[in-house]
Amino acid sequence: MQQPAPSALLSAPAPQSSPASQPAPEPLTSPAPAALPAQRGWRGLLVRAGLRVGPGAAERSERADHAAARRFWTGPRTIAVVNPKGGAGRTPTTAMLAAVFARHGGAVVAWDAAAGAGTLGWRTQHRQHDASAIDLRDHLDDFLWTDARASDLMSFVHHQDEDLYDVLPGRAMAAGALDESWSAADVAELHGLLATYYRLVVVDTGASAEDPAWQAAVAAADQLVVVATPHPAVIASGRRLLEALTHRGGHHAALARGAVGVLTEAEPGTHRAAVAAAASGQLLAPEQVSVVPHDPAMVDGVLTYDRLHRRTRRAWLRAAAMTAAAMPEHSDVVVGDLA
């Protein structure tokens, strides 16, 4: 039989299949987390034995929180961790929220914007340099050029190897370095740079609510996380702050309305007191508050998510999920604006 010429094969139309013989491809989607088989407890044992059993309520809730923590937004977002009272838990909350969000999507920086001596740099992993936000402030012009790269920030931030986020300490890490204060313009300019290179900025605002730098950090925030311990004075400080922001109106009032709370058990045995404080509405409504139990790994040393007890990690996951769920879909913050 004579074979057709190669040119005829190239120009011949491709055979057409009928719709019935060539069904449309299925969309590439993953099943909802709640629909996946159980992995824990006796339900997980049955699944490993070959039976298909769905997850229980606790596992479904945890999966939902993981899904919430993976939420992405159009454009960068900024979380301000606030309470002017010392010992309220700002630094651990900043670090752990950054850790959870980084583990669920990356490009997260925790920034110590406290006026004077902040503690975030001392509670997180140091890199092989002593740079801080002060140094980055003095080199902002280096990042105005078109050939600036995200990797250039590694000379100033301290990457957390286990928790996958970056830390920008608020002061020089070298021993004996002098503290330097921040201006509102400093905060606005640094926030603009960080929002260019990171999808999420988590800010430890410090303890001076009257300081212009503190006010600029809050003005740049899309979401407020109010922290407290069960101590009445700490809770009252957080409550007064929310009232002051509400009274100011505009963006600040919106932040106060949408705020979430984190109550950390500062000492063993106070967990019930923390729950009671949250339920009484002294800080926020109970459904707006995540309670973190006491954990010795939170007290001193470098804060690392995997070194915490499982129940503590679960509480921080819940706090991050609540924060993500409360975050506005569209940001009304103009990066670099001090208003």
CA 271 to each of CA 91, 200, 214: distance values in angstroms, whole numbers, following the listed order: 20, 30, 30
Q: How does residue 58 score in pLDDT terms, banded at 50, 70 and 90?
A: confident
Contacts of 33 (CB under 8 A, 6+ apart): 60, 63, 64, 66, 67
Structure-token pair, residue 62: 């945890």
Mean pLDDT of 162-170: 93
Q: Given CA atoms 56, 57, 58, 61 in this order, what sign does their dihedral have?
A: positive
Contacts of 177 (CB under 8 A, 6+ apart): 130, 171
Model pLDDT for residues 309-325, shown as the tens digit of each residue: 999 999 999 999 999 99
Q: Who wins on pLDDT, 266 or 323?
A: 323
Rounded to whole angstroms, how far apart are CA atoms 289 and 319? 8
Q: How does residue 42 score in pLDDT terms, banded at 50, 70 and 90?
A: low
By CB atoms closer than 10 A (0-12, 13-18, 19+), residue 116 is middle
Q: How does residue 259 score in pLDDT terms, banded at 50, 70 and 90?
A: very high
Q: Is the pLDDT of residue 261 over 80?
A: yes
Q: Who wins on pLDDT, 57 or 271?
A: 57
Q: How does residue 27 score in pLDDT terms, banded at 50, 70 and 90?
A: very low
* Across 30-39, 213-222, 306-315, least confident range: 30-39
Place of tokens 């979380």: 79
Predicted TM-score of the model (pTM): 0.83
Q: What pLDDT is attached to residue 303?
A: 95
Rounded to whole angstroms, how far apart are CA atoms 201 and 191? 8
With H, G, I as helix, E, B as strand and everything else as coil, classify residue 194. Answer: helix
With H, G, I as helix, E, B as strand and everything else as coil, classify residue 254. Answer: helix
Rounded to whole angstroms, how far apart are CA atoms 323 and 288? 9
In the chain, the DSSP E strands lie at 77-82, 108-112, 158-159, 166-168, 200-204, 223-228, 260-264, 289-292
Q: Is the pLDDT of residue 26 over 80?
A: no
Q: Give the chain's count of helices (H) and strands (E).
A: 11, 8
Q: Who wins on pLDDT, 109 or 174?
A: 109
Q: Is the pLDDT of residue 4 over 50?
A: no
3-state helix, strand, coil in the chain (%, to 5): 40, 10, 50
- Say how far residue 249 (Cα) sits from the centre of its chain: 25
Closest CA relative to residue 192, chosen from 124, 146, 129, 136? 136
With H, G, I as helix, E, B as strand and everything else as coil, classify residue 192. Answer: helix
Q: What pLDDT is attached to residue 134?
A: 87
Q: Who wins on pLDDT, 107 or 51?
A: 107
Model pLDDT for residues 218-253, shown as the tens digit of each residue: 999 999 999 999 888 999 999 999 999 999 999 999
Q: Is the pLDDT of residue 114 over 90?
A: no
Q: How does residue 271 score in pLDDT terms, banded at 50, 70 and 90?
A: low
* Across 44-58, 115-129, 163-177, 209-223, least confident range: 44-58
* Across 104-108, 147-151, 186-190, 275-279, least confident range: 275-279
